[in-house]
Structure 1
Amino acid sequence: MANFKGHALPGSFFLIVGLWWSLKHPLKYFYQKEKSNQLTHHYQRLEIIEAAIRTLFAVIGILVEQFVPDGPHLHLYHEDHWVKLMNWQHSTMYLFFAVSGIMDMLTYLITHVPLGLDRLVMALAAFNEGFLFYYHVRDRPPLDQHIHSLLLYTVFGGALSLAVEVVLRDNIVLELFRTSLLLLQGTWFWQIGFVLFPPFGGPEWDQNSHDNIMFATMCFCWHYLAALCILAASYSLVYWLHLSPSPTSTLRQPSTTRHQSPLRASPQPPVKSSIPPHPFTPAIWPPGPPHPAQGGHQVSSGHVTSLQEGSKEST
């Protein structure tokens, strides 16, 4: 759609997915770094849900482009002219992203899908977007061409990063770089809508002014800086939440490690009994001091036999 909503809709889609990636990739990185299996049970399900949502976004985009009141309504050619080719180009862009979402779901649902095919199809979808936009603004005013050409840097940069991820999968640097470009792409779509179609009835930009072209270039750099700040904030938030101890781990910790019992800290010596042992009980080595009841003589183990024989003779 050649209006503000036609640029705000894809910008919102890219921005939502970019914000989710800014949280998902650091979370996956920290758990893989510790070789923890706590995330693996739910990660595959999250990937399937994300792919389904991205496919839904693409289908919504196709329906909006085709069935708006002034849309083509699935008519490509009528009598002697093409019907709303700009809407058809946008629909083609959404179609490739829908195929990418379906391929992502198949990757995690079917084990026979080659690893890396999901990244390759997503790279092709991004390249298709850039290819369409490259010929989207020919014979347009200079400012219109310039702000769309700036968008191509983010699109082709993301396609290149995805192509490298086919080989270097789960590389956190490439994933964060791709996420920053997707955030930039989302915010820049909104900026294009404000420049070409002011939504609040403000003054229109001079499409032939070189100063406006210079400002748009500088504004593009500011957008990327904002995307990097968002990415850094998300990374720091995930890192802080990952390091903070959970309440359950504190409750499960044994109390002896933090509050040691005083009885265990200093063991008491054994208490000696004051009751004299039986005269016929074998002495325990080493022998203790003689008891007065025994007449000062200590009974040793060697005298046990003679004492028993004497007692038998007396009986």
Structure 2
Amino acid sequence: MGSFRGHALPGTYFFLMSFWWIIKSILKYVSKKQKRICYLGTKASTQRVELVEGIILIFMALSGIGGEQFLNGGPSLILYKEGQWNQLDGWHHCTMYFFFGLMGVSKVLCSTINSLPGSLVKLMMSNALFVEGFIFYNHTHGREMLDIFVHQMLCLVVLLAGIVSFLEFLTKNNVLLELLRSSLLMLQGTWFWQVAFVLYPPNGSPKWDLKDHNNRMFLSICLCWHYAFTYMIIGVSCVFVTWLVKWRLRRLCPSEVGLLKNTEREQESEEEV
């Protein structure tokens, strides 16, 4: 992670996965609201989606660990070298990736073994986020003021996401909690990109003064702008998915719509009697 690409990679991972979870949560909610009109999705298809998600998470974790360990002079799985600890920053990042990989493993297991509770995935997600928050809290020893600040903000976002994810574990099918967790994960992804531009500006970009308190004040505002951006994405996604589901219902299920509506009217008349 000690480079622009090293921060952009996890930022891209978090952004893409959180965006997919936003779409999935909204699609599940809208489909549930329309279930009297047309049935969308099956348990088998849901399990396949979870299986694919788990495989993708495992791939992301393994690619992150491999990049940290073996690219750009990484520790190459050597923790202690020549009488001292070897690149502990890289080992911090690998630990973070490892726990998200465990979350991917739990998704694969829960989608293939019916006896496992589905809430195990939510528990593993909250564990991964708490571990990540703990890692970044202890990640900035001896660094410049602005470097410490951007990591503190990242730590705050991660811990909030962990708390929301744990609340999801305690509840069931709460779409607001799902969207809140996804928004915090997306904020984490975009903030990784912001950290990359602050600490490792690309070629030709001006360098940030890591001791300037005005930069810190601006970045505190910038974090709020990032969060507003995530809610704009959620709003646009909600409008698009709602339109798409209703459009598909009108095209694919016209006869079933009429049949179910007549059945509902008969049931309502029987209840009135």
Aligned amino acid, residue 204 of structure 2: G
Shift of 1:241: 0.9
CA displacement at 1:252 relative to structure 2: 8.6
Deviations 1:82-140, CA, capped at 9 Å, x for gaps: 11111111111000000011011111211221341111111000000000000101221
Letter in 2 for 1:4: F
Which range moved further: 35-44 or 169-178?
35-44
Indicate the residue corresponding to 1:247 in structure 2.
251
SS at match of 1:166: helix
Residue of structure 1 equivalent to 2:238: 235
**Residue 75 (structure 2) pairs with residue 72 (structure 1):** yes
Structure (1 or 2) with the greater helix fraction: 2
Q: 1:124-167 CA distances to partner (integer Å, 9 max, x unpaired)?
A: 00000000000101221111111111111210111111111112
Where 1:50 maps in the other structure, the secondary structure is: helix
Deviations 1:215-263 (A, max 9, x none): 0000011000001101111111111111224434458999xxxxxxxxx
| Alignment match of 1:147 (pick from 122, 145, 150) | 150
Q: Which residue of 2 aligns with 1:62?
A: 65
Q: Point out the more displaced range, 31-40 or 211-220.
A: 31-40
Which of residues 158, 163, 172 in structure 2 aligns to 1:160? 163
- Matched-pair identity in %: 41
Residue 185 of structure 2 aligns to which amino acid in structure 1? L
Task: Please list the CA deviations of residues 31-67 of structure 1 after superposition, one character each: whole Å capped at 9, or x if unmatched.
Answer: 2233464212422211111111011101110001001
- The 2-side partners of 1:160 and 1:181 are apart by 11
Q: 1:28-177 residue pairs with structure 2 within 5 A?
A: 28-35=28-35, 37-40=39-42, 41-177=44-180
2:191 and 2:181 map into 1 onto residues whose CA distance is 15
Give structure 1 regions of 4+ aligned residues with deviation exceeding 6 angstroms.
251-254
Match of residue 259 from structure 1: none
Which runs of 5 or more residues in structure 2 are unaligned?
259-273
> 1:1-42 CA deviation, whole Å, 9 max, x = no partner?
311111001001001101111211111112223346421242
2: CA distance, partners of 1:37 / 1:240: 16
Q: What letter corresponds to residue 126 of structure 1 in structure 2? A: L
Q: Distance in 2 between matches of 1:201 and 1:136?
A: 28
Q: Which runs of 5+ in 1 are unaligned?
A: 255-315
| Cα distance per residue 1:173-217 (max 9 Å; x no partner) | 000001111111100000000000101232211111110000000
Q: Secondary structure at the match of 1:12?
A: helix
Query: SS of the counterpart of 2:210?
Result: coil
Paired letter, 2:18: G
TM-score (norm 1): 0.77
Higher Cα Rg, which structure: 1
Q: Which residue type is aligned with residue 40 of structure 2?
A: Q
SS in 1 for 2:171: coil
User: Aligned to 1:211, which of 191, 206, 214?
Assistant: 214
TM-score normalised by structure 2 residue count = 0.88
Q: 1:253 to 1:132 in 2, by over 3 A?
A: closer
Q: How many residues align?
A: 254
Per-residue CA distance 1:256-297 (angstroms, 9 max, x = gap): xxxxxxxxxxxxxxxxxxxxxxxxxxxxxxxxxxxxxxxxxx
